Amino acid sequence: MSEAAEPFTATGRCLCGDVSWGVSGRLPPVGFCHCSQCRRVSGAGSNAVMHVKADRLTWLSGEDARRTYALPSGWSNTFCGRCGCPTPQLGPHGRWFVPAGSLDGQPELSISGHIRVTDKPGWAVIGDDAPQFPENWPQA
């Protein structure tokens, strides 16, 4: 476990509480992915994650209790080995994908947008004014 340089802005945990973490600094906006893999791991019409810089996430418990399932394509999901709840997963560019629904309390979060909206099921409704992209985020 690493030491936090400042108090946590938010904390999160899995359903059973074995895996927990803290995020320091400003909370980034939430992005929603509507692809079939993200829908399957979330059990909903999209998967809501924040992209947190690696040095801003601190493991509080259970880092070693996490398990990862990866598809041959390279897409993967990291979860608690006991309860199956999604947990932060280190993604490309040194950022953690932090499941927004796993945060404790009601932190004030903004929405950055929705990707893969062409894969969105008809029963899922996007009810905000955030940008929507047919595929992935536009390249900067």
Q: Given this model, what pLDDT does residue 139 score? A: 76
Give the Cα separation of 99 and 14 in Å (integer). Answer: 10
- The CATH number of 8-119, from 2.30.110.10, 3.40.640.10, 2.170.150.70, 1.10.3470.10, is 2.170.150.70
37: amino acid identity, one letter: Q
Give residue limits of the domains in the chain.
8-119
Q: Given this model, what pLDDT does residue 6 score? A: 59
Q: Given this model, what pLDDT does residue 129 score? A: 96
Using one digit for the tens of pLDDT, what is the confidence trace for 22-61?
Answer: 999 999 999 999 999 999 999 999 999 999 999 999 999 9
% the chain with pLDDT above 70: 95
Using one digit for the tens of pLDDT, what is the confidence trace for 98-116?
Answer: 999 999 999 999 999 999 9
Using one digit for the tens of pLDDT, what is the confidence trace for 59-103?
Answer: 999 999 999 999 999 999 999 999 999 999 999 788 999 999 999
What is the pTM for the complete model shown? 0.88
